[in-house]
Amino acid sequence: MNAAAADTGERPFRLGVLVSGSGSNLQSIIDKLHHSSANIEIALVVSDNHKAQGLTRAAEAGISTAVFPMIDFEERLEHDLAMAAELERHEVELVVLAGYMMLVTPAFLDRFPYKVINLHPSLLPAFPGGSPIEDTMDYGARVTGVTVHYVDEGADTGPIILQEAVEIKYNDTVQSLRERIHEVEHRLLPRAIELIAGGRVSFDEENPRRVVLEDT
């Protein structure tokens, strides 16, 4: 089964990117993929936060933006369905959670089956959740890393697409480790998107938890 393979025609593969804060990973997608030879386009950037710097980055690149603050909605379901409708209106083929700090609901995932991916700053399944870098340091781990994975109904539990390890140095602080993790993220996330857009990512038919990458 191909996961969100690219259209065969000239039309660029359309991304929706969800951000909550700084958006440095959004910037890496803009710099490496947006209107590149990979024939990929960011059709829409969505945030739950009016003040997200990612919105400014998108606007500066001429990309459409939309903001869906949770406070404007009575329920999470209503919020996610409104967000899904806007992404569908922009004919998005892959939804990328790039520093989006809210969980998405099953109803949202149903609208984009096998088409939502997340970036997480640890080697999953170790240290899922909202403060993985701090948790990794507190635990005393010596190696951490970056994971790009499909989103399923759990928290950081979906099938893994790409992972890369990052060594934790004895004199690391949360900030210094975060910076080195970011460097890896800025390579790994665009790479995963490019693979999916190129139709080179599929699932093992006998074990759909296992993602299969076509040789490049």
In the complex, which residues of this chain contact ligand GAR (CB under 6 A)? 19, 21-25, 98-99, 119-121, 132, 185
State which residue, 6 or 15, has the beta carbon closest to ligand GAR.
15
CA 80 to chain centre: 16
Q: Name the residue nearer to ligand GAR (CB basis): 5 or 67.
A: 67
Q: How far is the CB of 135 from ligand GAR (least distance, A)?
A: 11
> CA–CA distance from 151 to each of 62, 67, 103, 155 (Å)?
28, 21, 10, 8
Minimum CB separation of residue 65 from ligand GAR in Å reads: 15
> What is d(CA 194, CA 20) in angstroms, rounded to the nearest whole number?
23
Q: Please report, as a single letter, which amino acid is at residue 3.
A: A
Shortest Cβ distance from residue 163 to ligand GAR (Å)?
Answer: 12
Residue 4 to residue 89: CA distance in whole angstroms:
17
Return the number of the residue (132 or 159) whose C-beta is nearest ligand GAR. 132
- Tokens 């803009």, located at residue: 30
Active site (annotated) includes residue 120: yes
Using an 8 Å Cβ cutoff, are 163 and 187 in contact?
Answer: no
Cβ closest to ligand GAR, residue 47 vs residue 202: 47
Q: Which is the catalytic residue, given 120, 149, 182, 186? A: 120
CA distance 181 to 177: 6
What is the smallest separation between the CB atom of 159 and ligand GAR, expressed in angstroms?
16
The two three-digit tokens of residue 56, written as one number? 């400014």
Please give the positions annotated as active site.
120
